[in-house]
Structure formats: structure tokens, C-alpha cells
Structure 1
Amino acid sequence: MAYWLFKSEPDVFGWEDLTAKGDAGEEWDGVRNYQARNNMRAMAKGDRGFFYHSRSGLEIVGIVEVCAEAHQDSTTDDERWDCVDVKAVRPFAKPVTLQDIKADDRLSEMALVKSSRLSVQPVTDDEWAIVCALGDTKP
């Protein structure tokens, strides 16, 4: 299993919106960055990810699961753009802020710190365990 981080603006599509979709989940559509798209192409069904509220909040608020592998993004006819479907697994007991992550030396190489603008990012096994512990949340 691989781990990822998905960024979304909470006023556009937040944790509550994904939770409301239930087990069917939702397309992680609208991504127009090649590196983020390639990250989604590398995902497998069952991979887990962090749901990160960007712009406002700046915090990891939940865990998601990839429930459909990469396929054509339904928001465009341009065949270059794929997306995956994700569903909510569980909220974080305590959100983990970007400030928390930057303050932890063990996370200094995390993509969220190094490539902060990338909307879909890989997360290492160690980073996954550390962030879950910071959020008092079962991995």
C-alpha cells in the first residue's frame, strides 16, 4: 500500500463534502498539473491518503482511500487529464496543521513542506505514521 496527500480548499470541496458521498466516494477531478496527475496514475485501489484543507485551515483533517484507479477526468474532454476516486475513511481525532508538520524535524523532507503547491503528493511510510500519531488517529 502506498500513501498520498490530497489537497482541497474546504470552501470548494471539504472533508464534510467527501464524507457525504459515502462508500461511492468522489472523483478527485480538476487536477491540471502533470506531476499531480502522474501521482494519481501511480495509485492503486486501497491506497490511503491524507485529506488536507488548503488555503483556509491548512491542516490534515482525515484519511481517505482510493476506491477507483486512474481514469479519464470527467470534467474535461482532454485525454491528458486523469483522476482517481477517493472515499472518506475516518476523520482525524485532532487535525494536524501545516505549522505542526513544519515544527517536527522528522517531517522536514515531506512533500507538503518541500513542494507545498502540489495538489496530490506522495507520503512515505514514516511520514504517514508520524502524522497519524500527531493527530491521535489510527493509521
Structure 2
Amino acid sequence: MQNWLFKTEPDAFSIDDLANMSNQTEHWDGIRNYQARNFLRDNVKLGDQVFIYHSSCKDVGIVGLAQVVKEAYPDHTQFDPESKYYDPKSSPDNPRWVMVDIQFKQKFSKLLPLKVIKSMPEITEIGLVKKGHRLSIMPVQQSEFEYLLSRCKEAS
């Protein structure tokens, strides 16, 4: 099993949106970066744990936890001309983009801010703390995942 951090803009889709889904499960669509896509397609597996991270907002940071419940399959938004994620170069016979399904596990009562994460000497490998490595989907080493999870639960 691996661990991940998935970024989302809370005004588009938040941890609360995931928690309020009828079965607390949703597809993670709209990824249009090739490296992030490759992680989804090749590495994200059933049962993997996922930090949900709110970005592009006033308070950025880790807000909750989810789990992968369906591995990569074609992202339907790439075929929809009305979607902001439409890709005219993609076709059902040769899809370029994938998505996974995640299920809500927990919302932390307090956000673990990026500023705090960057100040942790134990956290050195996650892309959040590396210049130029700020993908919307990023792996989290087991030791760093456990440490961040313990800090998230402490703050809650």
C-alpha cells in the first residue's frame, strides 16, 4: 500500500463535499498534468490512503483523509466538449486522462497548515516542501505519512 496527497480547491470540491456525498465516495477527475496522471494510472492502488489537501484558498493545508476504492479508469470529462477538462485530442479508443474513486474516511477538526508542515524537520521528501514539486497528486513516504497523520490527529 502507498500513501498520497491529493490537492483540491475547496470552492470547487472540498472535504465537506466528499463527506456529504450519498455514499461518501467520488471520482477524482480533472487531472491534466502528465506526471500526476501517471501516478494515478500506474501507482495509485485500491486501499491506498489519501490526504485531502485544500489549496488555492486562504487557509491551505491537510484537512482530511480518504481511501482509494477504485483504481484508474478513463476520466469521462475529457470527452465532454462542455467540460472545462475537455481534451479534443483524447478519444474513447485512446483516452489520455484517468481518474480514481476515493471514499471519505475522516475530516480533521483543524487544518494542518502548509506553513507548519514546512517547518517540520521530520518532513523532507513530500513535494509540498520541495521547490518546483507541487503536483496535485503526490506520493507520501510511509514515515512522513504516519508523522503527518499523528500531527493532524493531535491538532484535532
Letter in 2 for 1:23: N
The question of 1:120 aligning with 2:137 is answered: yes
Cα drift, residue 22 of structure 1 = 4.4
- Aligned match of 2:53: 52
- Aligned match of 1:30: 30
TM-score, normalised relative to structure 2: 0.82
Structure 1 unaligned residues grouped into runs of 5+? none
Cα drift, residue 116 of structure 1 = 4.8
Structure 2 unaligned residues grouped into runs of 5+? 80-89
Deviations 1:21-75 (A, max 9, x none): 2435111100000110111111111111100000112110100100110000010
SS in 2 for 1:23: coil
TM-score, normalised relative to structure 1: 0.92
- Aligned match of 1:98: 114
Cα drift, residue 108 of structure 1 = 2.3
Larger-Rg structure: 2
Query: Any runs of at least 4 consecutive aligned residues in structure 1 with deviations exceeding 2 A, and if so which?
Result: none
In 1: Cα distance, 2:110 partner to 2:32 partner: 31
Aligned Cα root-mean-square deviation (Å): 1.4
In 1: Cα distance, 2:73 partner to 2:146 partner: 29
In 1: Cα distance, 2:134 partner to 2:127 partner: 9
In 2: Cα distance, 1:117 partner to 1:129 partner: 20
SS in 2 for 1:107: coil
Over 3 Å counting, the alpha-carbon distance change for 1:60 and 1:132 in structure 2 is same
Give percent identity, aligned residues only: 41
In 2: Cα distance, 1:135 partner to 1:93 partner: 9
